[in-house]
Amino acid sequence: MLSKTIQDALNEQIKNEMFSSYLYLSMSAYCAESSLPGFASWMRVQSGEEQTHAMKFFSYILERNSHVELQALVKPQSKFKSPMELFKHVLDHEKKVTGMINALYELAVKEKDYPTQIMLEWFITEQLEEEKTAGEIIQLLTMVGENGPALLMLDRQLAARAAK
């Protein structure tokens, strides 16, 4: 069974992961409305990944014979000035999530909860990938600019990548 402190922190992270899913879904709508279907598809896939992350925490809490308590989500941002602003927001958000995961790991270390530490190692690795991917897309947007044929090519590239 999880300690109350760890249980509460993991329940909070379920909310954070679901918010991430909700945020990326909102970003997907923005991209679709901006005639960028590849970006929209990429964001929908990201939204689904975040739901999967939330369910990993959900299942873990139950596996440890503890209590899941779902929490309310706040409304995500839905308007952005450009694809670049959107992906800078993605990178900032992923850095914030990385901090949350690191804090959970530190708590598990403090409480000597070795199974939770092991479970969180997957998330630590995942966050490295999430930040790297967002950073790469920002670099591509910097190279291609935010208008013209190159942006459409990047849109197609993101659609293909999301389909993997």
Summarised one tens digit per residue, pLDDT across range 126-154 is 999 999 999 999 999 999 987 778 988 89
Phi-psi region at 15: left, alpha or beta (left = phi > 0; alpha = psi -120 to 50): alpha
Domain residue limits, the chain: 4-162
Closest CA to 119 of 156, 66, 79, 157: 66
Per-residue DSSP letters for 4-52?
HHHHHHHHHHHHHHHHHHHHHHHHHHHHHHTT-HHHHHHHHHHHHHHHH
The answer to whether 51 and 18 have CB atoms below 8 angstroms apart is yes
Topology of domain 4-162 in CATH is Ferritin (1.20.1260)
What's the pLDDT at 161?
Answer: 66
Q: Determine the 3-state secondary structure of 76 from DSSP.
A: coil
The answer to whether 11 and 61 have CB atoms below 8 angstroms apart is yes
The answer to whether 87 and 141 have CB atoms below 8 angstroms apart is yes
Q: What is the pLDDT of residues 28-40, one digit of tens each?
A: 999 999 999 999 9
Q: Is 61's pLDDT higher than 60?
A: yes
Average pLDDT of the residues in 80-87: 96
What's the pLDDT at 102?
Answer: 98
What's the pLDDT at 140?
Answer: 95
